[in-house]
Amino acid sequence: MKPTSLAVTDPRRERWAALGRRAAVRLGGGALVLWAVATLTFFAMRLMPGDPVLAILGGPSSNPTPEAIEAARIEYGLDKPVAVQYLLYLWRLLQGDLGVSYGQHLPVTRVLAEQGGATLQLTFAALLLAWLLVLLLTVVTAGRGRLVGGLASLAETFSASLPHFWLGVVLLAVFAFGLRWFPPAGSDGLASLVLPAFALAIPLAGFIAQVTRESLELTLEQPFVLTARTRGLSDLAVRFRHVLRHALLPGVSLSGWAIGALISGAVVCEVIFSRKGVGRQLYQAVQTQDMPLVIGISLVVAASYVLANILVDLLYQWIDPRQQEVTA
Amino acid sequence: MSDKTLIVEALQVAFAGVDVVRDLSFTLSPGRCVALVGESGSGKSVSARSLVGLAGSGAQVSARRLSFAGQDLLSLSERQWRAVRGKDIGFVLQDALVSLDPLRPVGKEILEVLQTHGYGDRHSRSARVHELLERVGVPDVALRARQRSGQLSGGLRQRALIASALALDPALVIADEPTTALDATVQAQILAVFREIKARGAALLIISHDLAVVAQLADEVVVLRHGEVVEQGPMQQVLRQPRHAYTQALLAAVPSAHPRGQRLSPERAVQPAIAAPRGPGEVLLAGRGLGKRYLGPDGLLRQVLEDVDFTLRAGQTLGIVGESGSGKTTVARIALGLLAPDQGEVLYRGQPWNGPGDAVSEARRRPLRGEISVIYQDPLGSFDPRWSVAQILDDALHVAGLDAAARPARIAVLLEQVRLPAALAQRRPLQLSGGQRQRVAIARAIASEPKLIICDEPVSALDVSVQAQVLDLLADLQEQLGLAYLFISHDLGVIRHVSDQVLVMRHGRVVEHAPVEQLFAHPAHEYTQRLLGAVPHLPGTGSELVVPPLDLEHEAFDLFDESRLWKIAI
């Protein structure tokens, strides 16, 4: 009763085909999520108090003439029924037109192009750094007796509980103002990336390390680890070649979620370290009711979150091919 | 390096100052086979692991002499050990599903040994992997080498595991329960592979609890109990004229060597109060034309059951025997009313009990649920680990509708019926031994005063002597309470011991249905004959006396095997 199809197809090609199918399905699902996000943001902004026309014409403090208000209302299509406005909005989105920022009077796509890179840089630097810390801390110390394990997991719990804003300020005080190793503010060059990346990475690393340590310790008890040792493999080779791959899975799942947490953390870090980035822009856009910019940023954040989760899902399948048999 | 003999003198292994192995001595020369025999906790596995320096962290290994090929093993540094492991000494563990890295293709696993010890270049290594797989009898090597252990059948992956241990033609091969968890026919094939290894001149050390397997391979047998050697000598002598009481008990506990009604374990605590009449009673449970199909992962429908009939009468035992994937667990789940068949129906005392779709509603079944109980292979998984034994039984009695006031007295009676001391009532499942847990599961099963118990591999995870006690308990309860059993097992010996009628299943069909004595004396179907023939025999017992593999699913892998069963079943 074994599936006979296995006997005739090449396992490796089969794997890639399954991975491709999975990616297509997930991309379709991702498009749906983006549509839902666009719709929700659109209506949420409608519900906000205040007249968008006033925001366009310079905020609540300005005092435009009724004619100017009427002209702007027609220019931005705000005189049409909400349903028409919504469809128009979707149509423009499909064409890649996110509108013009009310506050900055620049196309939203241009603002995003200028600011998005910095945020992406920060997020991915933080994620990479977090994983580096996790691997350094856990692979070497897991299953090494109670004292080492206890100290390491204490360090993990401690760092997982540090808030970004506090850590950011402490890092600034010590390494920027005290030791003067890194610049306190700005967004040019690697040196300015180090402190904000650490501020984001340390709590995340503590979090991922906790689950990774637990699954490392479970995996080290598995019979196949003993088999690998009976082949004459060294302890480190056993840990990196066999154990790690099994133990990565829970941490990889967490990383998909972590992308979201990192972006919201980036908002805080960008303000503290006066960096460029969509986090800071979002913060300001919400305050000035700059609707096109809020929608644009929300969509980009949602899109990167969706994309990151698709990547994590595919990575997961690639690490553990057994998943394909269950889900494909 | 001329004489590749393993010499073990007065080996002693201790953990935190407590000895787990004491004074173990034997000599193993090329082309010979020594077997270490014992039940779980006897120290046989840790002894084997000490021989490759992997007894575990915290283990203190000492010996008067421990040498292989003239090299003193005790003085080796970790680096020197690594040069020995895999090259001079190959090690095979049980159940390749978990003993090979489940995320890597088996070919890579074999390749790893070659790479670690710097064998040849890329091409010669790859050629060697194929050669090794062919040698242990794997077909389609180019394809199989690229599949993961989970994609191979039990027999093929065990062969791949053996191939990885043989990669560099080690002079000594240590096999720790190499055939445990394998079906009888596959077990026979794997034993043939080991005979071939021995014939090629390697020294073989077999660790097993299974005397029948040992009889197939060993020249010398060492029987261990609680870390001490109780008996040691040539295989024929130890198995034919066992001198020590423990060896005799191990041999006596083998169920198939004894006909129905004969006791396997020595003591008998309670005499039956009322002997319920045996012989054919009313028909309790009947299955008619049962069929079930599942959608496989490849999108193909697979027929896991086809046209299965069975009849179980009051006070009788119907045994269902088959290898993994034969559909026996699916029959159990349909009989329990947990799963609806696609075709056919199940009648309980003439009334509809289960049928396709919602033919019989759970609401209709519920009032009768108390009359049908179930016992699983792994009771631990079916207990709430935070509950004490008393709470577990109290809950079962509550469901059965007994007043809270009457329950403590009934719990005491139940514990007595399954011969557990009353003091155990306050313990939690994790604090009990495997045998005690299964007794609690039996007590819970009889709490609702059922007429019928469905037993799904109830003794497979137990050591031989514990298995014997549990089987005796089930027989006594049947006599006292007039119970009927639907008894599912892959173990022919157990089936022979407990059953009145036997159903042999293969690929979802019933291939033979006969009274137990007839089935074993004159198996009609070719598959039954093959199944009986594949079972290893003890020496000198003749072909009539069948000694089956015992304890096929080892305790350490209970949960794992259970999950596999469910995957097949769902």
Confirm or reject contact between A246 and chain B (CB < 8 A).
yes
Residue A264: how many other CB atoms lie within 10 Å: 12
How distant is the Cα of A18 from the closest Cα of chain B, in angstroms?
A: 11
Residue A159 in any domain: the answer is: yes
Chain A neighbors of B116, CB-CB under 8 A:
231-233, 237
The helix (run of H) or strand (run of E) holding residue B344 is strand B343-348
Distance, C-alpha A67 to centroid of its chain? 44
* Distance separating alpha carbons of residues B212 and B333, to the nearest angstrom: 32
Closest partner CB to B54 (pick from A230, A320, A326): A230
What mean pLDDT comes out for the span A147-157? 87
Residue to substitute from B45, B103, B140, B157, interface A, most A β-carbons within 10 A:
B103
Axis crossing angle, helix B389-399 with helix B407-417, rounded to the nearest 10: 110
Instruction: Sort out which chain B residues have CB atoms less than 8 A from A3's CB and list them.
Output: 296-298, 300
When the pLDDT of each residue in chain A is averaged and rounded to a whole number, the result is 82
- For residue B91, the chain A residues in CB contact (below 8 A) are 227, 230
In a domain, A56, yes or no: no
Q: Residue B427's Cα: distance from chain center in Å?
A: 26
pLDDT number for residue B569? 30
Determine, for residues A3 and B298 on separate chains, whether the beta-carbon distance falls below 8 Å.
yes
- CB atoms A226 and B153 under 8 Å: no
* DSSP single-letter state for residue B539: T
Q: What is the mean pLDDT of residues A248-260?
A: 86
Quick one: angle between helices A244-272 and A191-220, nearest 10?
A: 150
A9 → chain B, closest CA residue: B143
- CA neighbor of A321 nearest in space, from B334, B147, B269, B412: B147
Q: What is the pLDDT of residue B558?
A: 28
Whether B292 and B342 have beta carbons less than 8 Å apart is answered as yes
* Look-up of token digits 């666009």: A38
H or E stretch at A123:
helix A108-141
Q: Output the six-digit token pair for B223.
A: 């029987």
The backbone region for B515, taken as left when phi is positive above 0, alpha when psi lies in -120 to 50, beta otherwise, is: beta
Q: Is B177 exposed, middle or buried (0-12, 13-18, 19+ CB in 10 A)?
A: buried
Q: Taking CB atoms and an 8 Å limit, are A3 and B147 in contact across chains?
A: no
CB A165 within 8 A of CB A172: no
Judging contacts by C-beta atoms under 8 Å, the chain B residues touching residue A325 are 150, 297
Q: Tell me the sheet residues that pair with B345.
A: B288
**Residues in chain A within 8 Å Cβ distance of B85:** 229-232
Tokens representing B319?
């045994």
The verdict on residue A59 lying in a domain is no
Domain assignment present for residue A98? The answer is no
Choices 3.40.50.1400, 3.40.50.300, 3.30.300.30, 2.160.10.10: CATH for B283-383+450-539+546-569: 3.40.50.300
Q: Between A5, A232, A326, which is nearest B117 by CB?
A: A232
pLDDT at residue A96 is higher than 60:
yes
Taking CA–CA distances from B154, the nearest residue in chain A reads A2
Are the beta carbons of B103 and A228 separated by less than 8 Å? no
- The distance of B501 to chain A (nearest Cα, Å) reads 26
Distance CA B250, CA B308 (A): 37
Please state the domain count of chain A.
1
Cβ B197 vs Cβ B12: under 8 Å: no
Q: What stretches in chain B show pLDDT beneath 70?
A: 1-2, 254-263, 265-280, 296-300, 536-570
Residue B165 with chain A: CB contacts under 8 Å: 230
Alpha-carbon distances, residue B61 vs A135, B23, B39, B52, B84 (angstroms): 33, 11, 21, 11, 18
Pick from B45, B98, B94: which is nearest to B207 by CA? Answer: B45
d(CA B429, CA B442): 13
Q: Quick check: B325 and A233 CB within 8 A?
A: no
Kindly list the domain boundaries of chain B, sorted by start residue. 89-169, 283-383+450-539+546-569
The continuous run of DSSP H or E covering B390 comes out as: helix B389-399
In angstroms, the CA B399 to CA B419 distance is 23
Of the candidates A319, A218, A234, A299, which has an alpha carbon nearest to the alpha carbon of residue A39? A299
According to the model, what pLDDT value does residue B568 have?
31
The CA distance from A148 to the nearest CA of chain B, in Å, is 15
What per-residue confidence (pLDDT) applies to B538?
Answer: 64
CA nearest B350: which of B283, B290, B450, B281? Answer: B283
Indicate the residue type of B512: E
Within 8 A of B102 by CB-CB distance, chain A residues are 224, 322
A232 touching B, CB under 8 A?
yes
Helix axes A11-47, A291-319, angle to 10 degrees: 160
- Measure in Å the smallest separation between the Cα of A153 and chain B Cα atoms: 21
Q: Which of residues 9-38 of A touch B (CB under 8 A)?
A: 10-12
Average pLDDT over residues A172-178: 85
Task: Determine, yes or no, domain membership for A243.
Answer: yes
Instruction: Report CB contact under 8 Å: A229, B85.
Output: yes
Crossing angle (nearest 10°) for helices B389-399 and B434-446: 20
Helix, strand counts (H, E) of chain B: 22, 21
Give the domain range for residue A313.
110-321
Residue A40 lies inside a defined structural domain of this protein: no
A188 pLDDT exceeds 70? yes
* Residue closest to B229 by CA, chosen among B414, B24, B415: B24
* Start-end of H helices in B136-272: 141-144, 154-166, 184-199, 211-217, 235-240, 245-252
Chain B nearest C-alpha distance from A242 (Å):
7
Query: CA separation (Å) from B455 to B372, B438, B484?
Result: 11, 11, 10
**Token pair for residue A83?**
């349903």
Strand residue runs (E) in B29-165: 33-37, 59-62, 65-68, 71-72, 89-92
Identify whether the C-beta of residue B12 lies closer than 8 Å to the C-beta of residue B63: yes
The CATH code of the domain that includes A173 is 1.10.3720.10
Contact A223 B57 (CB under 8 A): no
The answer to whether A168 touches A247, Cβ cutoff 8 Å, is no
**Alpha-carbon gap: B9 to the closest alpha carbon of chain A (Å):** 22
What is the dihedral sign for C-alpha A228, A229, A233, A239?
Answer: positive
Distances (CA, A) of B462 to A295, A315, B253, B437: 64, 40, 12, 10
Task: Check: CB of residue B447 under 8 Å from CB of residue B395.
Answer: no
For B441, list phi and psi in degrees, rounded to 5: -60, -40
Which residues of chain A make contact with B177, given a CB cutoff of 8 A?
none
Could you report the per-residue pLDDT of B307-351, keeping only the tens digit for each?
999 999 999 999 999 887 788 888 999 999 988 999 999 999 989
Closest approach of chain B CAs to the CA of A258, in angstroms?
25
Question: Which residues, numbered 140 to 169 in chain A, qualify as contacts with chain B under a Cβ-Cβ cut-off of 8 Å?
Answer: 145
CA–CA distance, B322 with B492 (Å, rounded to integer): 9
| Residue in A6, A227, A245 nearest the CB of B151 | A6
**CB–CB of B357/B432 below 8 Å?**
no
Q: Is B332 helix (H, G, I), strand (E, B) or coil?
A: helix
* A215-239 mean pLDDT: 89
In angstroms, the separation between the Cα of residue A310 and the nearest Cα of chain B is: 21
Query: What radius of gyration do chain A's Cα atoms show?
Result: 25
A326 CB neighbours in chain B (<8 A) are 297
According to DSSP, the residues that pair with B501 across neighbouring strands are B318, B515
Q: Do A322 and B300 touch (CB under 8 A)?
A: no
Please report the pLDDT score of residue B384 as a whole number.
85
Do residue B112 and residue A328 have CB atoms under 8 angstroms apart? Answer: no
> Does the beta-carbon distance from B85 to A232 stay under 8 Å?
yes
Identity of the amino acid at B13 = V
Q: How far is A259 from chain B (nearest CA, A)?
A: 27
Select from A3, A241, A242 the Cβ nearest to the Cβ of B300: A3
User: Does A221 lie at the interface with B, CB-CB under 8 angstroms?
Assistant: no
Number of CB pairs, chain A paired with chain B, less than 8 A apart: 99
Q: Three-state DSSP class for A65?
A: coil
Indicate which of A231, A315, A322 best probes the interface with B, i.e. most B CBs within 10 Å of its own CB: A231
Q: How far apart are CA B223 and CA A135, in angstroms?
A: 45
Q: Chain B: residue nearest A5 by CA?
A: B298
Query: Which residues does chain A have within 8 Å of residue B105's beta carbon, measured at their own beta carbons?
Result: 11
Give the β-pairing of B301-313 and B317-321: unpaired
Report the C-alpha gap between B364 and B478 in whole angstroms: 27
B151–A145 CB contact, under 8 Å: no
B98 closest CB neighbour out of A224, A241, A328: A224
Quick check: A231 and B113 CB within 8 A?
A: yes
Chain A residue at shortest CA distance from B506: A1
Nearest to B116 among A10, A232, A242 (CB): A232
Q: Is A269 exposed, middle or buried (0-12, 13-18, 19+ CB in 10 A)?
A: buried
